[in-house]
Structure 1
C-alpha cells in the first residue's frame, strides 16, 4: 500500500484543499519521492522546493488512482479523463495545475 502524505480527508486521496468527488489522484513528487494529493499539501509539509518531472520522464509511474490504487504513468494520466483500470473519473480541471508537477 502506498502512503499518501498531506492532509487527506478520505481513503481515495482527497485532501483539505481539493475534495470534490473527482479529486481522486495523488502525484509522486520527484523531489522527495512521496505521494501527495496536491501541490498545496506538499508545500505545507515539506521544506524543499518542488522538482518537476521533465517531459522525457513522462513514462514514469507517478500518479496513483485513489479509487483502485493502481499506478499510472504521467502520460497515461495526462491523456485520459478516467482511470484506465477502474474507470473512475478524474478532475479534468487538474490540467490547469500540471505546471506545478510537470515541465509542460
Structure 2
C-alpha cells in the first residue's frame, strides 16, 4: 500500500487542509517522488516547494483504493 504523507491524514488520505468527502486525491512530488495529501502539507513538511510530477509518472494516487 502506498504511503501518503501529510498533516493529520485519515485512512483515506484527507488532511488538515483538505478534509471534505471527495478530498481523497493525493499528489506526487516530482523531485522526491513522495505522495502528499496536498501541496500545503508538502510545503509545511519539506524544505523545498511542491512541484507536481509529470502526468506520465502517475502523479495522482487515490486515498481510498491506493491506485495510481
* TM-score interval, smaller chain: 0.7 to 0.9
The number of residue pairs the alignment matches comes to 68
Q: Which moved more, 1:15-24 or 1:61-70?
A: 61-70
Quote the residue 2:57 is aligned against. 60
Deviation of 1:26 after TM superposition, in Å, equals: 0.6
> Matched residues in 2 for 1:36 and 1:8: separation?
12
Match of 2:22 in 1: 22
Q: Which has the higher contact order (CA 8 A, sep 6+)?
A: 2
RMSD over aligned CA atoms reads 1.4
**What is the distance in 2 between the residues matched to 1:38 and 1:61?**
15
- Which 5+ residue runs of structure 2 have no aligned equivalent? none
CA distance in 2, matches of 1:65, 1:52: 15
Question: Which structure has the bigger radius of gyration?
Answer: 1
Quick check: which one's helix share is greater?
Answer: 1
TM-score of the superposed pair, with normalisation by structure 2: 0.87
TM-score by length of 1: 0.59
